[in-house]
Amino acid sequence: MLLIAGLGNPGPTYAKTRHNIGFMAVDEIARRWGFGPWRSRFRSFACEGSIETPDGPVKALILKPQTFYNEAGRAVGEALKFFKIEPENLVVFYDEIDLAPGRFRMKAGGGAAGNNGVRSITAQVGPYYRRARLGTGHPGDKTLVHGHVLSEFHKADLKWVEPLIQAVADAAPLLAAGEDEKYQTEVMRLAPAEKVDPRKAAKDAS
């Protein structure tokens, strides 16, 4: 079984912010692959279903922790233990400020790079899980990061946000099959992004 978790903050106040692009991604995966209704479980909204791959369907649980971003590990850890899922079968979708807007990178293991949601998950399950990093750009100064990630996407951002979210859902069979490198390549093929410096892009958008 695959556990797919998105990072974000609960409630309508944060729904359209950069920090919630992880929620947006898993919402679209659930919609695209016809997952069951969302229910309150594991301090989260959760739904179950399967993703079709060439080798057959892969069962998955999608999780949107309602603990607030920085405490997501508590929810993810509970679900992992309940279903006895190994960390290598956990995929976490989250915003990455050190990637230019619209860029997408898969990574297995490693540090938190200052992301408190990732740090919280690592504290609960260890570092050996799969990270689906959705580039949202850097504001250019570390003192501006907090406001940046909690600000809403600009209307102009939708030209890359919407195709990226669609692509991560359409390419999900590769993710379910464990083909992370191919998944990354396919997502960027479906939603190509300009190769720009993330800090410069953030300044231009402000």
Domains of the chain: 2-205 (3.40.50.1470)
- Residues with catalytic roles: 19
Confidence class for position 113, pLDDT limits 50, 70, 90? confident
Check if the beta carbon of residue 164 is closer than 8 Å to that of residue 131.
Answer: no
3-state helix, strand, coil in the chain (%, to 5): 45, 25, 30
pTM score above 0.85: yes
What 111-118 contacts at long range (C-beta under 8 Å, 24+ apart), as own/partner pairs, is 116/69, 116/70, 117/7, 117/69, 117/70, 117/72, 117/73, 118/7, 118/92, 118/94
The pLDDT tens digits of the residues spanning 54-75 come to 999 999 999 999 999 999 999 9
Q: Percent of the chain, pLDDT > 90?
A: 89
Quick one: which H or E segment has residue 74?
helix 72-83
The pLDDT tens digits of the residues spanning 121-163 come to 999 999 999 999 999 999 988 899 999 999 999 999 999 999 9
Angle at 85 between CA 80 and CA 89, to 5 degrees: 105
The pLDDT assigned to 114 comes to 86
The pLDDT assigned to 131 comes to 98
- Per-chain mean pLDDT for the chain: 93
Residue 200 has pLDDT above 80, yes or no: no
The pLDDT assigned to 142 comes to 87
